[in-house]
Amino acid sequence: DTAVSQTPKYLVTQMGNDKSIKCEQNLGHDTMYWYKQDSKKFLKIMFSYNNKELIINETVPNRFSPKSPDKAHLNLHINSLELGDSAVYFCASSPGLRSGELFFGEGSRLTVL
C-alpha cells in the first residue's frame, strides 16, 4: 500500500483551464502539505493543514485552492492555469505539527501549454 498517493502523476493542459490534483494518505497522520518544486528543483511550501484546518497559506495566488474533506485527504484545485504554474507538485504528510519527518508522495508533474 502506498503511504501517500497523488493522482494524476502527469497532467498536461492548456492555459486558462482548471485542474485538480488529489492526495490521500493512509498513515493516520494529522497534518498534510502541498509543496511546489520548480524547474530548478527548489521546494516551496504552498499550504499545510492540521486536522482539516488550514495552518499555512504561503504567498500563493488565490487561483490555488486546497480542500481537505477529511484528515486523510488534501486536494489542490487550480483555476485559470498559467504557464508559470508548470512544476511538480508534492503532497506530504506528518503525524502532527512538529512531530517528525514528512512522508512525500511521488509528485504530480503539471505542464501548462
User: What is the C-alpha separation between 82 and 73, in angstroms, rounded?
Assistant: 25
For the CB of residue 32, give the shortest distance to another protein in the complex, in Å. 12
DSSP 47-82: EEEETTEEEEE-S--TTEEEEEEETTEEEEEE-S--
Footprint on this chain of another protein (rule: CB under 8 A): 4, 33, 35, 40-45, 48, 55-56, 58, 90, 92, 96-107
For the CB of residue 45, give the shortest distance to another protein in the complex, in Å. 4
For the CB of residue 80, give the shortest distance to another protein in the complex, in Å. 26
